[in-house]
């Protein structure tokens, strides 16, 4: 089969698959009870007041043990932790006091984490949020989260508690399974997404690109595309800030300069997930980082992004390197990469994206998939330990130093 024909076929086939994926995830409610089905050992606490007050008894409406969790001390350093077993989408929480007692928690904060070590407070309206808890032992107070979070671990941190009794909790966490293909980048691999055959250039009047990333490295290219006329789009981390560079065209005399760069965020190398959305219509661009949107217009007079036949994620492809000047590849994890309607991460799992000249590894739940055409080498094992899903374990994003 001629090369061009094969590429066209693959491209059309993939669009169909990604549409099905998006439709199936959008249509279901996300309100399952996540904590109740868990075993005793999935609950841990900062301390335990006495036998029968263990964290595993902290299930909503249960009366096991002494009817709930209570710590030894009464200060703001106590916490009750639920390990959901794998990353879940969390949409609501509920609390209750210890069964038939004068022990409860009246105000608390919520922390969440992928690793159980690196915690992030739940925010509402941009502030670390304090939730109203209980005023007796049996009433249930439920809070819908203003914005769902994705996490494996959830911690309840009591701030105020019963005046007459002790600090105590029974809890529920509501949400649903979170399916995501997480791509691990070791600084070598680059995903190259072929937009068309080599002979046909692409003109884009609009763009919609979204992805999530997590890294402990302050520098690295998240995505890059460029065209022979000098157009480009490039998203990268520089000094732990996000920089979007875009050029819809300059003229050859230099009187029209299209280069435009916008910076957003800070401390993005904090090993937490961050979401990015780029929306463009002609010269109008919205750059959204973690739900904060910056609107700007590109410089110059041109409306189309003229790209060559591919766009890459995690670095600049080797073929483009000379013009793009030795920028660092991304080291870390990405998920939910959607490029103009195509779910790239899903396509990678199905091995439909060209990765022929690069190494690439990803994990999808417990289904580890290796999409790599070259011979394997010993570094594979190490790299596959990055970006764990489901079973978890510690996260090593950087390559360990060579002995
Ligand atoms: Ca252009």
Separation of 231 CA from ligand 1 center, angstroms? 6
Q: Can you list the positions of beta strands (E) in 259-366?
A: 260-264, 274-281, 284-289, 292-297, 305-307, 310-313, 331-339, 342-343, 361-364
- The residues near 287 (Cβ < 8 Å, ≥ 6 apart) are 242, 244, 262, 264, 276, 277, 278, 293, 294, 295, 296
Are 134 and 264 within one domain? no
Pick 152 or 401 by higher pLDDT. Answer: 152
Give me the CATH number covering residue 336.
Answer: 2.60.120.200
| Range of 205-209, 304-308, 361-365 with top mean pLDDT | 205-209
Asked which of 173-187, 334-348, 386-400 is least confident by mean pLDDT, the reply is: 386-400
Give the Å distance between the CA of 203 and the centre of ligand 1: 7
Q: Taking 70 as the threshold, does the pLDDT of residue 164 lie above it?
A: yes
Distance 29 CA to ligand 1 centre (A): 42
Q: Say how many Å lie between the CA of residue 40 and the centre of ligand 1.
A: 60
Q: Quote the number of domains for the chain.
A: 2
Q: State yes or no: pLDDT of 125 exceeds 60.
A: yes
Please count the helices (runs of H) and the strands (runs of E) in the chain.
Answer: 4, 27
Residue 147 structural domain = 32-177
The model's pLDDT over 210-245, given as tens digits with 9 standing for 90+, comes to: 999 999 999 999 999 998 888 999 999 999 999 999
pLDDT tens sequence across 37-57: 999 999 999 999 999 999 999
Residue 123 lies in a domain: yes
What integer is the mean pLDDT of 191-199?
Answer: 73
Rounded to whole angstroms, the Cα distance separating 73 from 8 reads 66
What's the 311 CA to ligand 1 centre distance in angstroms? 15
* Distance from Cα 326 to the centre of ligand 1, integer Å: 24
> For residue 391, is it within any domain?
no
Q: Is residue 291 included in any domain, yes or no?
A: yes
Residue 94: the pLDDT is: 98
- Do 22 and 148 lie in one domain? The reply is no
Distance (Å) from CA 204 to ligand 1 centroid: 8
Kindly state whether residues 44 and 159 are assigned to the same domain: yes
- The answer on pLDDT for 15 being more than 60 is no
Please tell me the distance between residue 262's alpha carbon and the centre of ligand 1 in angstroms.
Answer: 18
Is pLDDT at 385 greater than 50 in this prediction?
Answer: no
% pLDDT > 70, the chain: 76
- Enter the tokens of residue 21: 């994926």
Taking the centre of ligand 1 as the mean of its atom positions, its distance from the CA of residue 334, in whole angstroms, is 28
The pLDDT mean for the chain works out to: 81
Q: Are 230 and 290 part of one and the same domain?
A: yes
Measured CA to CA, the distance from residue 218 to residue 238 in angstroms comes to 6
88 found inside a domain:
yes
Q: Do both 290 and 196 map to the same domain?
A: yes
**Do 222 and 150 fall into the same domain?**
no
Residues 347 and 295 in one domain: yes
For ligand 1, the distance from its centroid to the CA atom of residue 294, given in whole angstroms, is: 22
Distance 321 CA to ligand 1 centre (A): 21
- Distance from the CA of 338 to the center of ligand 1, in angstroms? 22
Ligand 1 centre from 340 Cα, in Å? 17
pLDDT digits (tens, 9 = 90+) for 64-77: 999 999 999 999 99
My answer on whether 237 and 275 are in the same domain is yes
Cα-to-centroid distance, 258 and ligand 1 (Å): 9
Q: How far is the CA of 227 from the centre of ligand 1 (A)?
A: 9
Q: Are residues 315 and 378 in the same domain?
A: yes
> Looking at per-residue confidence, does 218 or 323 come out higher?
218
Ligand 1 centre distance from Cα of residue 301 (Å): 9
Residues 152 and 194 in one domain: no
Q: Distance between alpha carbon 20 and the CA centroid of its chain, in Å?
A: 21
Separation of 282 CA from ligand 1 center, angstroms? 10
Residue 368 has pLDDT above 80, yes or no: no
Q: How many angstroms does the Cα of residue 305 sit away from the middle of ligand 1?
A: 5
Q: In the listed set 154, 177, 200, which residue is the last one of a domain according to the structure?
A: 177
In a shared domain, residues 262 and 275:
yes
CATH at 86:
2.60.120.260
Looking at the fold, whether 236 and 121 belong to one and the same domain comes out as no
Q: Tokens representing 340?
A: 């103009």
pLDDT of residue 355: 54
Q: 176 CA to middle of ligand 1, Å?
A: 43
Query: With 80 as the cut, is the pLDDT of residue 395 above it?
Result: no
């Amino acid at each position: 089969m001629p090369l061009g024909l094969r590429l066209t076929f693959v491209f059309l086939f993939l669009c169909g698959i990604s549409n099905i994926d998006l439709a199936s995830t959008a249509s279901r409610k996300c309100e399952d009870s996540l904590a109740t089905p868990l075993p005793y050992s999935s609950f841990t606490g900062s301390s335990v007041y006495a036998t029968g007050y263990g964290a595993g008894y902290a299930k909503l409406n249960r009366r096991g043990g002494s009817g709930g969790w209570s710590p030894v001390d009464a200060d703001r350093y106590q916490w009750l932790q639920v390990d959901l077993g794998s990353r879940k989408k969390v949409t609501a929480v509920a609390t209750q006091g210890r069964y038939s007692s004068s022990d409860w928690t009246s105000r608390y904060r919520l922390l969440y984490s992928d690793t159980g070590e690196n915690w992030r407070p739940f925010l509402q309206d941009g502030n670390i949020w304090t939730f109203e808890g209980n005023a007796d032992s049996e009433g249930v107070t439920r809070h819908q989260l203003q914005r769902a979070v994705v996490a494996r671990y959830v911690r309840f941190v009591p701030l105020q508690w019963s005046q007459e009794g002790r600090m105590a909790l029974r809890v529920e966490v509501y949400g649903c399974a979170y399916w995501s293909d997480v791509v691990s980048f070791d600084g070598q691999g680059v995903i190259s997404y072929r937009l068309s055959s080599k002979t046909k250039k692409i003109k884009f009047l609009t763009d919609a690109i979204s992805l999530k990333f997590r890294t402990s490295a302050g520098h690295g290219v998240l995505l890059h595309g460029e065209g022979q006329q000098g157009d480009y789009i490039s998203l990268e981390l520089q000094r732990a800030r996000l920089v979007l560079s875009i050029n819809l065209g300059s003229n050859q005399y230099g009187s029209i300069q299209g280069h435009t760069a916008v910076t957003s965020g800070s401390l993005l190398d904090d090993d937490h997930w961050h979401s990015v959305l780029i929306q463009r219509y002609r010269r109008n661009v919205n750059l959204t980082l973690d739900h904060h949107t910056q609107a700007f217009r590109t410089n110059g007079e041109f409306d189309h992004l003229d790209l060559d036949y591919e766009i890459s994620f995690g670095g600049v492809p080797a073929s483009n390197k000379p013009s793009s000047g030795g920028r660092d590849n991304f080291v870390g994890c990405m998920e939910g990469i959607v490029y103009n309607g195509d779910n790239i991460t899903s396509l990678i799992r199905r091995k439909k994206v060209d990765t022929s000249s690069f190494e690439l590894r990803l994990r999808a739940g417990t289904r580890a998939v290796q999409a790599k055409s070259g011979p394997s080498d010993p570094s594979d094992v190490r790299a596959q330990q990055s970006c764990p899903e489901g079973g978890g374990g510690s996260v090593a994003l950087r390559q360990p130093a060579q002995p």
